Structure 1
Amino acid sequence: MDYFTAVTGSLNTFIWTYILIAALIALGIYFSIRLKWVQFRYIGEMFRLLTDKATISADGKRGISSFQAFTVSTASRVGTGNLAGVATAIAGGGPGAVFWMWLIALLGGATSFVESTLAQIYKVKDKDGFRGGPAYYMEKGLNARWMGIIFAIVITFSFGLVFNSVQSNTISIAVNESYGLNRLTIGLILAGLTAVVIFGGIKRIAHVTQILVPVLAILYILLALYILVRNITVLPDMFVLIFESAFGLREVVSGGVGAALMMGIKRGLFSNEAGMGSAPNAAATAAVTHPAKQGLIQTLGVFTDTLIICTSTAFIIILSNEYTGGLDGISLTQAALTYHVGDWAGAFVATAIFLFAFSSIIGNYYYGETNIDFIKYSPISLFLYRLAVLGMVVFGATVELEVVWGLADLSMGFMAIINLIAITLLAKIAAAALKDYRLQKKEGKDPVFYSDSIPGLENIECWDTMPEEEMKKRQG
């Protein structure tokens, strides 16, 4: 296992140092400029769209709403990355890692808009409503099914298997330290609960996460706010520490600015997923009248994840100064909360991470399912995938933290590289969709998208052609 960890570590260093960090920042800037900083100009519209109802199909079925699709993707975002991932970033990169997490989220908002809008444009119908994601826009937008199949394999392995082992690993460590329960037993219990949900389909997943995610996030944020208010006099010093550490002006960990940048961007991407190609799978399930609506909703998800929830965890840890004591992962978050509010915090974090990470497992599972369907629908393949998910949940609960995080970084890196290539080539279509949305809003309309709203658009399955009357209005 030590050899395996060393190999994944070397591959991670190469991929992230020489390819991904520069690509994520450069493309985030490119998309922001091309879309005229959509992630900031449309903040108010993002919140308004959360109340949009799902459209009803011709056969009378109501699809997944924007809010439900938002919570499925947020279920995957809001989990281990927010509590344990932030802790590993600060433990490995110091307080400066928080700055780089903020930066990648602010730039990643535009990246998230592009990938989620494309997922809506190229979505397809299935028995539950719609499905889609990077594999689908690679096949239909780039005419590169081979590329879509590669991505589908990578995301199924990454989310359904590797990332779910990260979630169960964090749960098992937290629960074991707080309650003394055997980690294998925890894994088996978690696998049983997961089985109950994943055999119920996307609508049950949407229902469960719609209840769990907002409640858990609000409770956790309220606790963080309480801690910040109690420490309000030292907040200015904390911000100074974050910025000085980010640029190497104050040495906090070995590696200085390089460690802060690397850990901040890696853990930021793991948590908010902007550009990774995962959230578009959830975005595609929404029944909306215009693709840009879901693009804006998913951009809000990036901000919710990193700027609010991850930042809450970061402040709790930095204000405690526990990150200098050699702790890592969820153990560091538990220690920081215990420092602020007492011994009961360990049990609170164990309970919270159980529910956060469980909701992440549900969301992660769906990403794999929809991509298996893309390759070739097969009840046997789906059944075997579900068993593999349950197996990795048990595996993750029993192995060391370094093993699952190393695998996660590696698989996440491959996913992001493939997806970033695709959305760069298709960015003009997302930009055209945003322009169409903006023009209709300017006319006082509730924007509606058609398969011929963008000239030259091909391989569109789920959007009607523009009515003749509407076409004449636009031409005249």
Structure 2
Amino acid sequence: MEIFNNIISELNNYMWSYILIAVLVVLGTYFTFRTRFVQFKYFPEMLKVLKDPATVSSEGKRGRSSFQAFTVSLASRVGTGNLAGVATAISAGGPGAVFWMWIIALIGAASSFIESTLAQIYKVKDKDEYRGGPAYYMERGLNKRWLGILFAVIIIFTFGLVFSSVQSNTISLAFDQAFGFDRFWMGIILTVMTAAVIFGGIKRIAFVSQIIVPIMAVLYLILALFIVIMNFSEIPAMLSLIVKNAFGFQEVVGGGMGAAVMMGIKRGLFSNEAGMGSAPNAAATAAVTHPVKQGLIQTLGVFTDTLLICTATAFIIIMSGEYMNPDLDGIQLTQAALTSHVGSWAPAFVGGAIFLFAFTSIIGNYYYGETNIGFIKESPTALFIYRLAVIAMVLFGSVAELAIVWNLADLFMGIMALINLVAITLLAKIAMAALKDYREQRKQGKDPVFYADSIDGLTGIESWEYRKHGESKNK
């Protein structure tokens, strides 16, 4: 197992050092300028469209609302990356990793806008609901079904299996630290709970996410805000430390600027998923009047995840000074940091919080795999086998070593992101045209509505009606 882990680690170092970081930064910057800084200029609009109700189809069926799709994607985003991932980044890359986590969120938000808008444009009907994502826009937008199948296979493995094991690994470690609870039995409990939800379908997933995600995020942010207020005088020194360490001016832990950049971007991407190709699967399920609305909402998800929740964790850890302890890493570092601030009840609180954060991530991750199995082939047998595999990986992650599950996650996350980033770059002009259409309608005081013929030459559309003919059909 150690040899296998070393091989995965070497592949990760090569891919992240020489390829992926450059691609993420360059394309994020490119999309930021192409959209005229949509992630900043349209922030008030994001909050406005979040309240939009779901549209009703011509058959009288109400789809999933923007808020429901937002919470399904946030359920996947908000999890281990926010509590354990941030801790891992700081322990390996120093406080400067937080700065690069912020940077990748700010510029990566534009990539998130592009991919989620495309997912809405090329979504397909699934009985009384919608589904879509990168595999669908690769097939329908690029006419490359083979590429869509390749991406579908990778996301099924990455999210449904590997990322689920990361989440269960963190839960079991947190409960072991807080309560001395046996990791194997924690795994058994998690597998039973996971099975109960995933066999209930996406409606139950959306329902569970809509209730749990906002509550757990708000409670955690309240605690973080309390800690920051109690240590308010330390904020200037902490921000100075983050910036200095980000550029290698003041090495505290880790390997200076290189480690800070790599770990900040790695863990930032794992947490907010901007440009990775995962959130578009949830974005496509929303029933909205215009694709850009869901693109904006998913961009808001990136900010919520990184600039709020990840930053809260980072401040708690840095202010505690516990990141200097070489024996602490991952969720146990977060627990130790909270203990130093609020007392001995903190490990139990983090254990409960990470259970909610990570369990909803398992649910969201599962759905990404399910919708991509449907893309490859509608097969009840394949879906049943996939569900069993998810349950098995949840149990495996509960007892596996920390390094192995994180290295696997980094490798497949990187492969996924590269394929998706190439696809959205090739299709960016479609998302740009949709944004232009949205802007023009807003200037006219309208609630923007999208049609299959709103963009000249657009093909491969199934779920949007034609303005000229008033009926849905393939073009």
- Asked if TM exceeds 0.5, the reply is yes
- Please classify the TM superposition score into its range, dividing by the shorter chain length: over 0.9
The residue correspondences of 1:36-435 to structure 2 (distance < 5 A) are: 36-326=36-326, 327-435=328-436
Deviations 1:151-190 (A, max 9, x none): 0000000000000000000000001111111101000100
Aligned AA (1:385)? Y
Q: 1:468 to 1:2 in 2, by over 3 A?
A: closer
Give the letter aligned to residue 445 of structure 1. K
Q: Report how far residue 253 of structure 1 moved.
A: 2.1
Q: Structure 1 runs of 4+ off > 3 angstroms? A: none
Q: TM-score, normalised by structure 1?
A: 0.98
Deviation at 1:254, TM superposition (A): 3.8
CA distance in 2 between partners of 1:126 and 1:67 (Å): 19
CA offsets per residue over residues 410-460 of structure 1, 9 Å max, x none?
Answer: 010000000000000000100000000000010011100000100000010
Report the secondary structure of 2:465's partner residue: coil
Q: Secondary structure at the match of 1:454?
A: coil
The Cα of 1:305 is off from its aligned counterpart by: 0.2
* Cα separation, 2, equivalents of 1:61 and 1:170: 39
Query: What SS is found at the alignment partner of 1:448?
Result: coil
* Residue 3 (structure 1) aligns with: 3
Map Cα deviations across residues 227-269 of structure 1 (whole Å, 9 max, x no partner). 0000000100000000000000101124200000000000000
Specify every segment of 5 or more residues in structure 2 that has no aligned partner in the other structure, as ranges. 471-475
Instruction: Give the AA of the match of 1:286.
Output: A
Give the conservation status (yes or no) of the 8 Å contact 2:61–2:128: no
Q: Which amino acid aligns with 1:118?
A: L
**Distance in 2, Cα, partners of 1:453 & 1:84:** 44
SS across alignment from 1:125? strand
Which secondary structure state, in structure 1, belongs to the residue aligned with residue 446 of structure 2?
coil
Decide whether the 8 Å contact of 2:112 with 2:274 is kept in 1. yes
Q: Which amino acid aligns with 2:67?
A: F
Q: How far apart, in 2, do the equivalents of 1:108 and 1:254 lie?
A: 24
Q: Secondary structure at the match of 1:55?
A: coil
Q: CA RMSD in A?
A: 0.8
**For 1:305 and 1:161, how far apart are their aligned partners in 2?**
22
Task: Give the corresponding residue for 2:473.
Answer: none
Distance (whole Å) between structure 2 residues aligned to residue 355 and residue 330 of structure 1:
14
Give, in angstroms, the shift of residue 61 of structure 1. 1.5
Whole-angstrom distance in 2 between the partners of 1:10 and 1:204: 40
Q: How many residues align?
A: 469
Deviation at 1:59, TM superposition (A): 2.0
Paired residue secondary structure (2:130): strand
**Contact 2:92 2:253 (C-alpha < 8 Å) held by counterparts:** yes
User: Contact 1:12–1:409 (CA<8 Å) still a contact in 2?
Assistant: yes
Q: 1:473 corresponds to which residue?
A: none
Contact 1:128 1:202 in 2 (8 A): no
Give the C-alpha shift of residue 371 in structure 1: 0.2
What does residue range 13-24 of structure 1 map to in structure 2 within 5 Å?
Answer: 13-24=13-24
TM-score by length of 2: 0.98
SS of corresponding position for 1:130: strand
1:128/1:203 contact within 8 Å kept: no
Distance 1:254 1:416 in 2: 25
Distance between the aligned counterparts of 1:218 and 1:254, measured in 2?
A: 31
Q: Is the 8 A contact 2:91 2:254 kept in 1?
A: no
Deviations along 1:394-419, one digit per CA (max 9) or x if unpaired, are 00000110010000000100000000
Q: Distance in 1 between matches of 2:468 and 2:314?
A: 51
Q: Following the alignment from structure 1 to structure 2, what is the Cα–Cα distance between the partners of residues 165 and 331?
A: 17
Q: Distance in 2 between matches of 1:393 and 1:198?
A: 13
Helix, strand or coil at the partner of 1:9: helix
| SS at 2:427 equivalent | helix
Q: Within 2, Cα distance between the matches of 1:358 and 1:252?
A: 33
Kindly state the Cα deviation for residue 468 of structure 1 after the two structures are TM-superposed: 6.7
The alignment partner of 2:125 has SS state of strand
Letter of the 1:394 partner, please give it: L
CA distance in 2, matches of 1:89, 1:254: 9
Query: Residues 180-237 of structure 1: CA distance to partner in whole angstroms, max 9, x if unpaired?
Result: 1110100010010011110111111001000000000000000000000000001000
**1:311 to partner: Cα distance:** 0.1
Contact map agreement 1:113 1:296 (CA 8 A) in 2: yes
Matched, 1:458 2:462: no
Distance 2:335 2:281 in 1: 32
Q: Give the share of equivalent positions with the same residue, in percent.
A: 70
Distance 1:67 1:99 in 2: 29
Q: Could you report, residue by residue, the CA deviation over 1:330-359 in whole angstroms, capped at 9, with x for unpaired residues?
A: 000000000000000000000100011000
| Contact in 1 for aligned 2:69/2:282 (Cα 8 Å) | yes
Deviates more, 1:365-374 or 1:124-133: 124-133
1:1-23 Cα offsets, whole Å, 9 max, x none, are 10011000000001111110000
CA contact (8 A) 2:116 2:280 kept: yes
